[in-house]
Amino acid sequence: MSRWLEYPTWQVPLWDAILEFDAQRLPAKVQKAEKAIRDRLHELGTAANNPRERQALTDALATLEILKRR
């Protein structure tokens, strides 16, 4: 799957969470995806570079919030 993703480091765990239908396994996958996303945000720091990836990261966190409500 990762060869089609622009940012596989954090998108792979995100998709693992999105595609998880087992309610028992979902929280761990959401947590792993959140960590990968927050780690990437930390790496990017406050520099104004990569606005496209920053928007994708923000959207990914919003998606995970929806998953957590299930």
The pLDDT, as a whole number, for residue 30 is 98
CB 28 within 8 A of CB 50: no
Q: Is the pLDDT of residue 70 over 90?
A: no
Model confidence over 15-60: pLDDT tens digits?
999 999 999 999 999 999 999 999 999 999 877 788 999 999 999 9
Q: Is the pLDDT of residue 2 over 70?
A: no
Q: Is residue 3 part of a domain?
A: no
Overall domain count for the chain: 1
Q: Is residue 40 part of a domain?
A: yes
The pLDDT, as a whole number, for residue 39 is 96
Q: Is residue 41 part of a domain?
A: yes
The pairs formed by 39-44 with CB atoms below 8 angstroms and a separation of 24 or more are 39/10, 40/7, 40/9, 40/10
Q: Is residue 23 part of a domain?
A: yes
Q: Is the pLDDT of residue 64 over 90?
A: yes
Q: Is residue 65 part of a domain?
A: yes
When computed from its CA atoms, the radius of gyration of the chain, rounded to whole angstroms, is 12
Q: Is residue 18 part of a domain?
A: yes
